[in-house]
Amino acid sequence: MTQPLEGKIALVTGSSRGLGRSHAVVLAEHGADVIVHDILLEEAENTLEMVRQTGREARLITTDIRDVGAFQKAVRDAGRVDILVNNAGVGGNRLAIEDVDCNIFDQMFSTHVRGTFFATQAVVAQMKERRAGKIVNISSIYAMGGSHFASHYSAAKSAISGLTKCWAREFAPWRINVNAVAPGFVATESRRASVSVEQIRERAEGMPLGRLCEPIDISHAVAWLAGPETDMMTGQVVSPNAGEVIVGY
249 is catalytic: no
64 vs 165: CA distance, rounded Å:
26
Write down the catalytic residue from 71, 153, 167, 224.
Answer: 153
Distance of CA 170 to CAs 130, 150, 167, 175, Å? 16, 30, 5, 10
User: What are the residues facing 60 on neighbouring strands?
Assistant: 36
Active-site amino acid positions: 153
